[in-house]
Amino acid sequence: MKMLINGLLLLALIPLSMPLLAADVLVLVGNEKGQGTLRKRGNECLVITPRHVTANYEIDGIQLVLQDKTTVSAELIHSYDADAAVLRPEPNRITRCKEQPFSEENITALLKNNARGTLRLMNKAGSTQLLPVDIVNYDSFETIDIKPRDGSGDISKGYSGGLLYIDRRLVGMLTSVKSGVGSVMQSTTLNAVLDPFFLAVNEASTLYIQADKGSRFLLDSAQSLAQSASFTATNQKDANFQLILATTRREIPSDTDKLVEYTTHVQGLNKLGATLLDKTLSTRGNSFVSLDNANENARSQIQALLEELDPFSYFD
């Protein structure tokens, strides 16, 4: 009964209007764990976490535990000296995230009027964990020092990347703890570090795919590759890059089976018209049954060749 009462008192300390979600994912790198927050970039959802959490990623790999308890792999795509890193989950496994999770309001004013906050975390079961904290120190621009409120527990290993809320507003990310005091990077500092990377896609990585009639079967593959490479589709006039696909088909006489040859010219251009990619893919499809089967075989092989080419790796 005492435990139940204590639990109810803890819930009473958390404003009902606070956001429902804690950190969006749990980040696992070998024996190291931390918290991760999702942010949208172009057509994909990426993960923000402290850099030190990913220190051994080359040896142990990176796994993300989602709120539905499923696990997906991720790769490190950017890291910063300010103890921040950006991860890319497996394609198409996370599709919903915010454009900008961190507040840009006057955090100093919040700190002047509030001595308490809540550190919101996610555990391995995908559940939210709430840790009431006291604000023990802060500067005007970079960090907020916190410690657990008396009787609330400790700031433990695996809390790095946890989100600090003050008066229901997300104001920063926990990056380190020393002698029981946690250091939180303020939103304004975190955004100053990350915004150039997250906002650049909106300006630079815009793409127009031009496919002739014979290449329409390749559009789904090309669009999926573009999305994985963080390119945003737009019209031809506004695009900074173009992918041009042109395919020819010819039937090859044969006394034994149906034989079809497909040839696809793949060209990549930047906004100035400079050629970034100029490749020709060619394959033959055959079938003892029908010409339709031969066509399907050839098209499948061209799709595989396009994916192997990875055309957007030439776009920089």
- Edge-to-edge order in the sheet of strand 275-287: 232-233, 206-211, 241-252, 258-270, 275-287
Please list the residues that pair with 245 across neighbouring strands.
Answer: 211, 266
Rounded-to-integer distance, Cα 4 and Cα 64, Å: 32
Ramachandran class of 153: left when φ > 0, alpha when ψ lies in -120 to 50, beta otherwise: left
Both tokens of 70, joined, read: 């499923």
Domain boundaries, the chain: 2-89, 107-199, 205-314
Residues 197-254 have pLDDT tens digits of: 887 665 567 889 999 999 999 999 999 999 888 888 888 887 889 999 999 999 988 8
Rounded-to-integer distance, Cα 121 and Cα 152, Å: 14
Superfamily of domain 205-314: Lipoprotein like domain (3.30.160.150)
Residue 197's SS3 state is helix
pLDDT confidence of 64, banded at 50, 70, 90? very high
Q: How many CA atoms lie within 13 A of 63 on its CB side?
A: 13
Mean pLDDT, the chain, integer: 86
Query: What's the pLDDT at 104?
Result: 65
Residue 14 has pLDDT above 60, yes or no: no
Query: What's the pLDDT at 206?
Result: 85
Q: Report the helix count and the strand count for the chain, using DSSP H and E.
A: 6, 17
Both tokens of 16, joined, read: 């009902």
Ramachandran class of 108: left when φ > 0, alpha when ψ lies in -120 to 50, beta otherwise: alpha
Calculate mean pLDDT across residues 278-306.
92
Calculate mean pLDDT across residues 75-92.
91
Calculate mean pLDDT across residues 269-286.
92
The secondary element (H helix, E strand) that includes residue 203 is helix 187-203
- In the block, tokens 């709430």 appear at 130
Query: What's the pLDDT at 12?
Result: 38
Cα–Cα distances (Å) from 287 to 254, 263, 291, 301, in that order, read 11, 18, 7, 14
Q: How many CA atoms lie within 13 A of 66 on its CB side?
A: 16
- Which residues are CB-neighbours of 71 under 8 A, at least 6 positions away? 63, 64, 65
Neighbours of 4 (CB within 10 A): 8
Calculate mean pLDDT across residues 144-166.
90
Query: What's the pLDDT at 230?
Result: 82
Query: What's the pLDDT at 10?
Result: 42
User: Among the listed ranges 52-61, 196-205, 238-247, 288-297, which one has the minimum average pLDDT value?
Assistant: 196-205
- Give, as one character, the DSSP assignment of residue 168: T
pLDDT confidence of 255, banded at 50, 70, 90? confident
Please list the residues that pair with 163 across neighbouring strands.
Answer: 120, 173
Query: What's the pLDDT at 22?
Result: 54
- Looking at the domain that runs over 107-199, which CATH code has it been given? 2.40.10.10
Superfamily of domain 2-89: Trypsin-like serine proteases (2.40.10.10)
Instruction: Work out the angle between the directed axes of helices 219-228 and 291-309 (0-180°, nearest 10).
Output: 20
pLDDT confidence of 181, banded at 50, 70, 90? very high
Report whether 145 contacts 136 (CB < 8 A). yes
Of 131, 51, 46, 137, nearest to 93 (Cα)? 46
Residue 8 has pLDDT above 60, yes or no: no
Of 148, 144, 145, 164, nearest to 156 (Cα)? 148
Does 205-314 match 2-89 at the fold level? no
Higher pLDDT, 231 or 61: 61
